[in-house]
Amino acid sequence: MPKIDSLDVSNMYSLVILTALLAVIARWVEKFVSRRRLSERLGCSSPVKVSRSEALKRISQGNREGKGRWRFIGPLFETYGDTFTFRVVKRRFIFTVAPENMRAMMSSQFNDYGTGKRADQLRPLFGEGIFTASGKVWAHARAELKPQFSKDNISQLQMLEGHVPHLVEAIRQSNGKPINAQELCYRYTIDSAMDFLVGERMGAMESYLKNPEDSFVQSSEQHIDWKADYPVESPEGKKRFCQAFEIAQKHTHIRAANYDTYWLYPQGDLPKAVAELHRHGEYYVEKALRATDEERRERPHTFLYQAALTNKDKKFLRDQFLSLLLAARDTTTAWLTWTFFYLSHHPKELAKLRNAILEHFGSGTPDDVEAITLDKLRECQYLKAVIQETLRLSPSVPMNYRVSNCDTSLPKGGGPKGDQPMFVAKGELIFFSPYYLHRRKESYGEDALVWNPERWETRRPRAWEYLPFSGGPRVCMGQQYATTEASYFLVRLLQNFSSITPAPGTKEYIYEDAHRNLSFKKVNGLFQEGKVPVCIT
């Protein structure tokens, strides 16, 4: 057998390495050429580019000013138009508020765009819930959940009315002194959300009446005794459930913000918080599955009891419960809190809204309350305008993203003016912002930054210019429920009170984000520690 000397071995290794390198280069060239041809076939042009140095400067400025990383893009939209790109290291990021691009990602090219690593980032908390699932799993979950948001279910206003007396009592207890509107809204929505989802009250409002200083909103991991074995339905157990949700959200938000490197972020108390949430979720699921026919008849419009009739999968039900609780609790809390904020700074609009409510629904006598219906809520046009305008300027989800599932395109963003199609490679991140979409002067006029409900009396945005609830197949299933809840809340509030003013010493009207959260829940920096102090009489 002939000997193979070291030189031959060296040449062999070199040949293997060279062959592998050439294969990589050939594959890269093939992909480049293929993408170039697809781009030409789709009529794409080069997009508007922002220099890396300017983008990083804006990000740093946003962080220094405490506005959050997503706030840096506002000036860039003003300078570069509705769509622009920039690179960090070798990755390209796309930012857009072009309505045509919204339509493409959410509807007309729905299959070309997905949620990327969101499932992995949020799975510890939400499992295969409706917000993390994709493909057939998502389609199945949506089909199972959609019937629970029928008009018949969201028309049950007596459920919402059950939480109003505690709300009114809590406000009257303040005697016109500053009260944290965000805390009130949070407690009202967590009580009503749990009532709708599982037929149980959290007792958040009752707890407030006993001790207004004991916040359900803020929580600290250092002050939670995870070893304490509180029963799920005990006051202590319910409060810890809320605290666990806050902690889990904080961690999952940071995981999502770090996208590719989410797994490097220290978990902290996330596993403990998730275990607590799962314990509660499984308790309510078991209770719904064991319910007798009589118990189900007593809860004909309760989500979990009705969902358990057609689906016995405990994990599925638990994941959907936690996912819907996030949507029902946080987004509505943010929405109502911002409404307090705007009304407190606009006394004329507040007076007009109250007059419209008294005209349509009366002063709040038992007969008046009994006569409130879903259809009547929808018929009150100024109430509708106030709600729409609040969601326009302060959408509960100010920033979102999609990831391209394949080599594809967007209808706008290419060319010097951004009015031509642009190519999008597989795996690219496209960030879109309802917050800035709703501030486009092309859509809302020169006063687009002003809170003005009257604009809805004369102006209607075109399709895909107004997306507080997203759009397309992934449009929020609970938007009618949320709108009904917010409408009913405002009607009953202004039937009982006539004045909402900023607390003395409140800073000027400034938009700032003082606390990062999944739904922009902590309202803004003109308030201390995320509070929204107002005086209500």
What letter would DSSP give residue 260? G
Q: Using an 8 Å Cβ cutoff, are 401 and 432 in contact?
A: yes
Q: Read off the pLDDT of each residue in 129-134 and give the average, rounded to a whole number.
A: 87
> pLDDT digit string (tens) for 22-73?
777 877 776 777 778 878 888 999 999 998 888 878 777 766 665 555 667 8
> pLDDT digit string (tens) for 169-220?
999 999 999 998 888 998 999 999 999 999 988 888 888 888 887 766 555 5
Q: H or E stretch including 484?
A: helix 479-496
* Cα–Cα distance measured from residue 482 to residue 488, given in angstroms and rounded to the nearest whole number: 10
Q: Is the pLDDT of residue 364 over 70?
A: yes
448 — pLDDT class (breaks 50, 70, 90): very high
Q: Is the pLDDT of residue 509 over 80?
A: no
510 — pLDDT class (breaks 50, 70, 90): very low
pLDDT score recorded for residue 515: 32
> pLDDT digit string (tens) for 451-477?
999 999 888 899 899 999 999 999 999
- High-pLDDT (> 90) share of the chain, %: 47
410 is written with which tokens? Answer: 């967007």
pLDDT score recorded for residue 212: 82
> pLDDT digit string (tens) for 144-163?
888 888 888 888 899 999 99
Sequential DSSP letters for 92-134: EEEEE--HHHHHIIIIITGGGEE-TTHHHHHHHHHTT-TTT--
267 is written with which tokens? Answer: 């978990």
- The second-level CATH assignment, the architecture, of 46-114+397-456 is 2-Layer Sandwich (3.30)
Count Cβ atoms below 10 Å from residue 136 Cβ, excluding itself. Answer: 8
C-alpha separations of 282 from 124, 235, 318, 397, 429 in Å: 15, 18, 6, 28, 35
Whose CA is closest to 183, among 160, 208, 211? 208
pLDDT score recorded for residue 71: 66
Q: Is the pLDDT of residue 327 over 60?
A: yes
For the chain, the structural domain boundaries read 1-41, 46-114+397-456
Q: Is the pLDDT of residue 382 over 60?
A: yes
